[in-house]
């Protein structure tokens, strides 16, 4: 086993070697510009792009013409949100999202807010789910878009897409979902789930970085977008720019593997994740699993280790690559807004670690990670005044702290 062990698949995944193999010829041999109509170099590139479009469409049960290439999910989210807002502003200037969305959704929304749009920021429950009644109540005749993610990147909570989609359809509101974390890990079906716009990113499912897609519904209703990138009119005028043929070929291949191998992969990931969680809970008193235990991505575990601070824990388990729910490494010293959004106390949010497993994770790696974490949490607790107080029977919530 090689260290550090990679358990941060939700941040990014390695390219699957099979994906790389399919991409290689497009760097050197089949290097044409997919927009060149006058020679075979362009035609073969275009054919490869269209094949990839079919592969991605198949993953989400869409028509290939509804798939639009972008540089990733951030661009797809920006285009979906700002593009619809600009296009449908006559209808009304109201959009709905939730507080636990990725920054790539929250920030375009904030941008629109500064432009005079009205945004409803839905809260979530302790599991990270929005209340459908609250969502329905927030919709008005002026609402043009609801944007709710398929699955949360920090805690893995899965939203009931089908119910949200049906509600939006019934109220005549467009539904966008940021599905960045979802491919290969949960079912995506734009028809059954009534989705009008969906953002995808290749590098989250074993494709290359720098390529993504936006699904844009073509029928019932036909969704139109105001382009956010002007130029040569590529991608039906909605996203200009020479296509990243190599990356697109890679994303297509990655989508194919994600679709065909999903069933076994979900089972395998869930077993690994459950194994990790069971070991951690057994080895560490008072450890807490965050998020929704039932409606959750199969590969992700977000765990709080009370009385130990997350950044120091990550520092101690340097043979294991994970991410901290607390953003102490930035200047803000703020714990994760997602965990705070769940109503987790700041100290639990400060003590949380996200483990995310993937295609190349082994049982031995999971066991190694669990052992390292247990060892380090135990060591840090011996050093923790909070742990000492709790052992003495002191209720930490009753202590008068000197906030700084």
Q: Pairing mode, if any, of strands 323-324 and 352-356?
A: antiparallel
Would you say 88 or 387 has its CB closer to another protein? 387
Binding site for another protein (CB under 8 A): 307-309, 311-312, 315-316, 326, 328-331, 333, 335, 345-347, 350, 382-388, 396, 401-404
The number of residues in the chain equals: 404
Would you say 23 or 344 has its CB closer to another protein? 344
CB of 338 to another protein, least distance (A): 16
CB of 303 to another protein, least distance (A): 17
Whether residue 317 contacts residue 366, with contact meaning beta carbons closer than 8 Å, is answered with: no
Set 35, 328, 386, 390: catalytic member: 328
Q: Pairing mode, if any, of strands 118-122 and 94-98?
A: parallel
Would you say 100 or 384 has its CB closer to another protein? 384
Would you say 188 or 344 has its CB closer to another protein? 344
Would you say 1 or 331 has its CB closer to another protein? 331
CB atoms within 10 A of CB 284: 19
Q: What radius of gyration, in Å, describes the C-alpha atoms of the chain?
A: 22
Q: Is 328 part of the annotated catalytic residue set?
A: yes
Report long-range pairs for 225-229 (Cβ below 8 Å, ≥24 apart): 225/79, 225/80, 225/83, 225/84, 225/87, 226/82, 226/83, 226/84, 226/86, 226/87, 227/79, 227/83, 228/78, 228/79, 228/82, 228/83, 229/79
CB of 8 to another protein, least distance (A): 16
DSSP code of 196?
Answer: S
CB of 204 to another protein, least distance (A): 24
CA–chain centroid gap for 16, Å, is 19
CB of 404 to another protein, least distance (A): 6
State both tokens at 55. Answer: 């592969």
CB atoms within 10 A of CB 121: 16
The residues assigned a catalytic role are 328
């Amino acid at each position: 086993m090689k260290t550090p062990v990679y358990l941060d698949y939700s941040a990014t995944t390695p390219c699957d070697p099979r994906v790389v193999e399919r991409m290689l010829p497009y760097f050197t041999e089949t290097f044409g510009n997919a927009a060149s109509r006058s020679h075979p170099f362009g035609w073969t590139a275009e054919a490869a792009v269209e094949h990839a479009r079919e592969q991605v469409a198949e993953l989400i049960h869409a028509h290939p013409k509804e798939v639009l290439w972008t540089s990733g999910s951030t661009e797809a989210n920006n285009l979906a949100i700002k593009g619809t807002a600009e296009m449908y502003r006559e209808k009304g200037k109201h959009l709905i999202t939730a507080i636990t969305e990725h920054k790539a959704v929250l920030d375009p929304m904030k941008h629109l807010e500064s432009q005079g749009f009205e945004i409803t920021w839905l809260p979530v429950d302790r599991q990270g789910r929005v209340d459908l009644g609250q969502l329905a109540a927030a919709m008005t005749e002026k609402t043009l878009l609801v944007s709710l993610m398929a699955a949360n990147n920090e805690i893995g909570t899965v939203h009931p897409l089908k119910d949200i989609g049906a509600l939006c359809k019934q109220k005549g509101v467009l539904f966008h979902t940021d599905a960045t974390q979802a491919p290969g890990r949960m079912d995506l079906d734009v028809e059954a789930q009534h989705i009008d716009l969906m953002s995808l990113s290749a590098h989250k499912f074993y494709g290359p970085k720098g390529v993504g897609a936006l699904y844009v519904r073509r029928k019932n209703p036909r969704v139109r977008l105001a382009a956010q990138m002007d130029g040569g009119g590529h991608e039906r005028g909605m996203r200009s720019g020479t296509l990243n043929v190599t990356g697109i070929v890679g994303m297509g291949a990655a989508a194919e593997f994600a679709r065909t191998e999903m069933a076994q992969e979900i089972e395998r990931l869930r077993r690994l994740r459950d194994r990790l969680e069971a070991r951690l809970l057994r080895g560490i008193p008072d450890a807490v699993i965050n998020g929704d235990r039932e409606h959750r991505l199969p590969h992700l575990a977000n765990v709080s280790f009370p009385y130990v601070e997350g950044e120091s824990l990550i520092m101690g388990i340097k043979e294991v690559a994970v991410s901290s729910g607390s953003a102490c490494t930035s200047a803000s010293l703020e714990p994760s807004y997602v965990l705070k959004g769940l109503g987790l106390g700041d100290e639990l949010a400060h003590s949380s670690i996200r483990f995310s497993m993937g295609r190349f994770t082994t049982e031995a790696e999971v066991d190694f990670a669990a052992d390292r974490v247990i060892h380090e949490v135990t060591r840090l607790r011996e050093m923790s005044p909070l742990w000492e107080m709790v052992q003495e029977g002191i209720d930490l919530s009753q202590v008068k702290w000197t906030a700084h």
